[in-house]
Structure 1
Amino acid sequence: MATRIPQEFIDEVTSKTNIVDVISKYVQLKKSGKNLFGLCPFHEERTPSFSVAEDKQIFHCFSCGRGGNVYKFIMEMENKSFPESVIEVAQMGNIPVPDQYEARNTQYQNSDSRTLLKMYSDAAKLYSHILTKTENGTPALKYLKNRDLSDDLIQTFGIGYAPNNNNLLLQFFKDREITEDVLRKSGLFAENQEGELFDRFRDRVMIPITDESGNIIAFSGRVLDKNASTAKYLNSPETEIFNKGKTLFNLNNAKKEIREKGNVILFEGFMDVISAYKAGVTNGVASMGTSLTDDQLYVLSRLTDKINVCYDGDDPGVEATYRALTQLTDDRFTYGVISIPDKKDPDEYIRSEGAQKFQNLANGGVQTPISFILNYFKRNYNLNNEHDQLEFLNQSLQEIVKLQSPVEVDMYVGKVADEMGVSKESINKELDSLRRQMEIQKPANNYKNVQKKALEKVTSTVKPKYDRLEKSERYLLYWAINFPEIRVNLKGDGFSFVHQDYQRIFDSLLAYVEEEDIDEDVNISEFMNFLSDEDKNLLAELEMMNMPEEYNDQEIDDYMRNIKNSGLESQLGDINQQLKKAALVGDNKLQLELAQKLINLRRILSN
């Protein structure tokens, strides 16, 4: 940070920000009672235990215990410092940030990782400059223009060009005194048989790959000549900052549209994503491999519960779509297929048919998986041949039997019956027979269900059990935070909590209200800025308790008495232990002394 962010600016950002708007960029939230719930972004779970209280502007996960205000969320989510999180939240809300408060990115805490992040950012700027400002980039720029990529689109995706030069990038970083060790770790270079480094990407259009926050962490380089003998795409290897199994191309740009449209479109290639974006379909992503990993699916599950597959329309593309559907079995999602006509890929279709037709296809031409699969099976059989008819029927029933909706079953049974020219009744008999076979085999095939139940059990909300003392402390601290007269009484009484966690928050509360000159209600979200991360978690947990709107005096007196007497009760336990030891050794004198202490202590407690 160049300058410390003043409290006035923090207050401005806080007052203009709704935590729900910020968290909704990362988590799919649904209203449940007074609060909103979703899948926790900090750990994997199937049952939503992550809660956001809009009235208090805080969040809390009932499973992992994390909690806090909007700044704490960004700090946890993006690994940012508090000043950086304030700036991030301000930028999300289009609140102008004075230049002197701009913070450096520290998402990657390891020094090598931060260096690699800076290297990829600098490399992207260099490749962009070569593409748009030099003669070396003219052929690549012409190639992109021929694919109808405008200057704005090239800039939006940060596309550049790596010239056919073995040492251009290598020398660029050597001039900046990047060590040999870091150069090798970067993934930007390869080495020859002599162990000498050279530029990995040469004579390729360079497409930056970003993480969910927009940091460039890798590249995909595309050849200009589609008839070249080398691979069409060359991607960065995995590094300290790039894990392909956790990365989705264009997720940073697409998050907002994914949430708003309620679905994500999975494309096969990066250029398809870019072309779709150009055509106004901006909720598209692409994976780094042939199928989505569990990590990628979990990221998407926080944003949507609908995945539409849009691969090439040629034979390999149809095969890839079928493979994808057989692998996409995560029941957090429903799935659809956008089939590209005339065996074209999405980019070809957009260029030949126009943006509007592709938008119509993406929004209104989504097939159900079973519809696509039945058409896929039909491609492989001659339905005028009896043997092929039976094979087609067998494969089709294996898919239809998985359907839960009676209406869907009836619809697709009718479709197969029409294709084969047989009655629905005969196909339904075959379907019933298949169901009976599956019921017999069910106990042997339930491993996945066992795993799912185990996961749900692990991630389900666990309510810790507190003894009478700690319950009293938790409730009393809650009321002290929310009602000024109670905290004033506790302070004047010289009261103290037994557990240090609660005492620490109470001390912070008194300091906060004094420093901020607060006589009435405490703003929980603002108060959290004065606490440690651990205390923020605890405060969020306390504030998420299901409490009545008002307290009664007797209740407060009971809590205070329980807490004050806890020390006496502890002494009572100690004396009982000493009495047992005195009886074992036959020390009658000590037993009498301890018995008298016990009587006096019980008298005090009874009063």
Structure 2
Amino acid sequence: MIKKSTIDQVFETARVEEVIGDFVQLKKSGSNYKGLSPFTDERTPSFMVSPAKQIWKDFSSGKGGNVVAFIMEHEHFSYPEAIKYLAKKYGIEIEETQQTYEEKEQADERESMFLVSEFAKDFFQRMLHKTDAGKAIGLSYFKERGFSSETIQKFDLGFSPETWDAFSSEALKKGYKLDYLEKTGLTIVKGEKQFDRFRGRVIFPIQSMSGRTLGFGGRILTNDKKAAKYLNSPESDIYHKSKVLYGIYHAKQSIAKEDTCFLVEGYTDVIQLHQSGIENVVASSGTALTPDQIRLIRRLTQNITILFDGDPAGLRASLRGLDLILEQGMNVKVCTFPEGEDPDSFARKNTQEDISAYINEQAKDVIRFKASLLVEEAKNDPIKKAEAIRDMVGSIAKVPDHIQQEIYLQECAKIMDISEEVLYSSLAQLTAKNQRDNSKRNKKGNENLRKVEEQAEQVSRPKVNQQFELERSIISLLLRYGNEEDHFEDYILKADAEGELALEAEHQHAKVYEKIFLDLQEDEIEFTNENFKSLYFKIIEEFSTKEEFKIETFINHLSPEEAKEITSILMQNERDVLHRWEDQDIFVKDKNELEAREVNETILNLRRYLIKQKVQELMQSVLEKKAEHNPEVLEEVKEYKSLEIIISQKLNRVI
């Protein structure tokens, strides 16, 4: 268990904008920040962060909450793990009891796999630094590659002994289940025997954006031609190679700061460049670039430069990934190193200034680079040149921005020595063909969709739950203005000289929370929504017992469901900002300014709604028992209807 004082310190220290900024590129938007959702695939920002309230809201997925909720959602952490992560980030010492074997048994499968991976990382590090074989073989290899002791430590590099089951045997002794050792791919099970997947290799741990160990890459150091040079962890519940970028944990802050990302191929390329001072670099780990990997980068920056080896054969094969980046609407450049050089070797021979200068000078726009390469390959062969032109048009068709498309077509026409008209025509034909193909593929889906829509039209639209919305409005008023004071015009029901009921205005000076609490108590109004009921009493208690109501403190002591609801209520104004209504001359009311009229109208509306409900209940009883035998009930209905009319008049409503 983590001490409450430590948890409080984490909440007091952690800044939501700083933590989320490690995962999402945030841009200032008034007093808040906005960015692309890390939970959905979107191109228009719908993710908002409020530093003042220390909360965030993702309008595309509906998720929201405080800083801990974000880490739990994004990294699939448990609550204690999220606290530990934040404590580590802010250098807060955290005390916890050692996990017992029974506690390890109770951990869920995914969490158990993470525990196994962390244990493996520590084991491989210990083998590298504390054993003779590790020092002689593994450490010597890393030193020969030019890695400093600090770099080796920073990237958690390790070594797996040649022994068949050194790791597996140690893990089983420590109480880790063989089932999880196998599921993470660390142990290969053959009948009654098991042996280590990475035996006899140097180890590169592969981490998530938050630093969790997801899997491993291992490089063999012998000349065994039957064994693969590099070996990666197999796919598992925690490791999906198509969704991971090597080095992203160490690069994320630099990528966001520099607003650009360098993409390389291998582990050592990342490490060597990082050691040279180029920290905004990640690797696809030898796999073909995937849309998920590109989206991971896009959350931090729109700009990406791919650093290719000088090998011409590998260069042509790597071009396929460029179209995927263009599809995501990113700005892409390509830089190649001299033949025989790769980012690793080039970084070893040059200073940070020289590397940066070389990349700045040699990096070309992706379309210009690809067109030049294809023209060079086609030379004077008309057939190859025609194929190259079609290839280029196909790439330009992937670009979502029409202005960029036009610029690329102009560039391409110059490089490939062909008229712009031909390229425009080819692009139009390709676009039309793609639309026809998409239409055919979606035809069946569209037919099903039409059927669903037809059925939906036959079903009446669900009515708005008025009481839910009114109760939500009361919670909103309390959160936004609870401690503010104002003059309120209250309405008291009184009979005039002729016995007619009327609402008489009375003025009072009070705090908003006092006004709401006393009015609801006087009318004996209770919340019907259990979440709102719980929140209401917690908010009232907070105002009654604390000198100052701080939403950033209050939200930290709520359940995830309550925190999510409060975030949705408080960030509604920010949602309106995202829609940019002012661009269409539609001006949304600022919900940060208290209007006493809004408080009065909300309470009157709730009263009116409850009276209406009461009338419906009474009328139903009349219908069931026959009106002539229920004169008292009919009289009661009449009185309630009169009251409803009076309240409606005060609200300027027509009955």
The two structures have a TM-score, normalised by structure 2, of: 0.78
Are positions 1:571 and 2:614 aligned together?
A: yes
Are positions 1:504 and 2:504 aligned together?
A: no
Residue identity in the other structure for 2:553: E
* Aligned twin of 1:600: 639
- Structure 2 residue corresponding to 1:555, chosen from 593, 598, 615: 598
Aligned residues: 574
Change (3 A) 1:381 1:78: closer
Q: Contact 1:84/1:103 (CA < 8 Å) preserved in 2? A: no
- Structure 1 residue corresponding to 2:139, chosen from 125, 138, 141: 141
Counting only pairs closer than 5 Å after superposition, residues 207-286 of structure 1 correspond to structure 2 as 207-225=204-222, 228-286=225-283
Counting only pairs closer than 5 Å after superposition, residues 77-226 of structure 1 correspond to structure 2 as 77-80=74-77, 82=79, 84-94=81-91, 97-100=92-95, 110-137=107-134, 138-192=136-190, 195-225=192-222
Change (3 A) 1:591 1:32: same
Three-state SS of the structure 2 residue aligned to 1:498 is coil
Residue identity in the other structure for 1:498: F
- Structure 2 residue corresponding to 1:427, chosen from 419, 422, 431: 419
Are positions 1:414 and 2:429 aligned together?
A: no
Change (3 A) 1:78 1:399: closer
Q: Contact 1:207/1:221 (CA < 8 Å) preserved in 2? A: yes
For 1:108 and 1:274, the matched residues in 2 are separated by 37
- What whole-Å deviation, never above 9, does each CA across 1:249-300 have from its counterpart, x for those lacking one? 1111111111111122222111211122122221222235632334333332
For 1:581 and 1:69, the matched residues in 2 are separated by 51
Change (3 A) 1:355 1:86: same
Three-state SS of the structure 2 residue aligned to 1:221 is strand
Q: Contact 2:251/2:282 (CA < 8 Å) preserved in 1? A: yes
Are positions 1:487 and 2:526 aligned together?
A: no
Residue identity in the other structure for 2:644: L
Change (3 A) 1:466 1:22: farther
- Structure 2 residue corresponding to 1:48, chosen from 23, 45, 48: 45
Residue identity in the other structure for 1:272: D
Counting only pairs closer than 5 Å after superposition, residues 320-335 of structure 1 correspond to structure 2 as 320-335=317-332
For 2:229 and 2:384, the matched residues in 1 are separated by 38
For 2:282 and 2:151, the matched residues in 1 are separated by 16
Are positions 1:4 and 2:3 aligned together?
A: yes
For 2:602 and 2:58, the matched residues in 1 are separated by 27
* Aligned twin of 1:24: 21
Q: Contact 2:267/2:285 (CA < 8 Å) preserved in 1? A: no
Change (3 A) 1:605 1:429: closer
Three-state SS of the structure 1 residue aligned to 2:45 is coil
Three-state SS of the structure 1 residue aligned to 2:95 is helix
Residue identity in the other structure for 1:60: K
For 1:108 and 1:325, the matched residues in 2 are separated by 46
Residue identity in the other structure for 1:409: L
Shift of residue 167, structure 1, vs aligned partner? 2.2
Q: Contact 1:497/1:563 (CA < 8 Å) preserved in 2? A: no
Shift of residue 514, structure 1, vs aligned partner? 3.6
Shift of residue 221, structure 1, vs aligned partner? 0.8
Shift of residue 320, structure 1, vs aligned partner? 3.0
* Aligned twin of 2:357: 360
For 1:399 and 1:179, the matched residues in 2 are separated by 49
Residue identity in the other structure for 1:5: K
Q: Contact 1:264/1:285 (CA < 8 Å) preserved in 2? A: yes
Residue identity in the other structure for 1:162: S
* Aligned twin of 2:569: 542
Residue identity in the other structure for 1:486: V
* Between 553-562 and 346-355, the greater mean CA deviation after superposition: 346-355
* Between 82-91 and 269-278, the greater mean CA deviation after superposition: 82-91
For 1:350 and 1:433, the matched residues in 2 are separated by 44
Change (3 A) 1:472 1:178: closer
- What whole-Å deviation, never above 9, does each CA across 1:340-399 have from its counterpart, x for those lacking one? 22242221222344544333234453221112211321342233x555555555555555
Shift of residue 528, structure 1, vs aligned partner? 0.5
Q: Contact 2:323/2:398 (CA < 8 Å) preserved in 1? A: no
Change (3 A) 1:145 1:382: same
Residue identity in the other structure for 2:3: R
Shift of residue 87, structure 1, vs aligned partner? 4.7
Q: Contact 1:159/1:207 (CA < 8 Å) preserved in 2? A: yes
Three-state SS of the structure 1 residue aligned to 2:339 is helix
Change (3 A) 1:448 1:253: farther
For 2:205 and 2:434, the matched residues in 1 are separated by 47
Counting only pairs closer than 5 Å after superposition, residues 432-471 of structure 1 correspond to structure 2 as 432-438=424-430, 440-441=432-433, 443-446=435-438, 469-471=467-469
Q: Contact 2:40/2:60 (CA < 8 Å) preserved in 1? A: no
Change (3 A) 1:304 1:143: same
- What whole-Å deviation, never above 9, does each CA across 1:187-227 have from its counterpart, x for those lacking one? 112244x5521121122111111222212222111012467
Change (3 A) 1:190 1:480: closer
For 1:570 and 1:161, the matched residues in 2 are separated by 72
For 1:558 and 1:387, the matched residues in 2 are separated by 76
Are positions 1:531 and 2:558 aligned together?
A: yes
Q: Contact 2:372/2:415 (CA < 8 Å) preserved in 1? A: no
Higher relative contact order (CA 8 A, sep 6+): 1
Three-state SS of the structure 1 residue aligned to 2:327 is coil
Change (3 A) 1:558 1:232: same
Change (3 A) 1:362 1:4: same
Counting only pairs closer than 5 Å after superposition, residues 54-69 of structure 1 correspond to structure 2 as 54-69=51-66
For 2:248 and 2:71, the matched residues in 1 are separated by 17
For 2:635 and 2:376, the matched residues in 1 are separated by 94
For 1:178 and 1:340, the matched residues in 2 are separated by 46
Three-state SS of the structure 2 residue aligned to 1:265 is strand
Change (3 A) 1:119 1:512: same
For 2:555 and 2:291, the matched residues in 1 are separated by 34
Q: Contact 2:375/2:416 (CA < 8 Å) preserved in 1? A: no
Residue identity in the other structure for 2:536: F
Three-state SS of the structure 2 residue aligned to 1:266 is strand
Change (3 A) 1:117 1:442: closer
Q: Contact 1:60/1:541 (CA < 8 Å) preserved in 2? A: yes
What 5-or-longer segments of structure 2 have no aligned partner?
447-461, 484-510, 574-589, 647-655
Shift of residue 56, structure 1, vs aligned partner? 2.0
* Between 215-224 and 76-85, the greater mean CA deviation after superposition: 76-85
For 1:226 and 1:349, the matched residues in 2 are separated by 25
* Aligned twin of 1:423: none
Q: Contact 2:291/2:324 (CA < 8 Å) preserved in 1? A: no
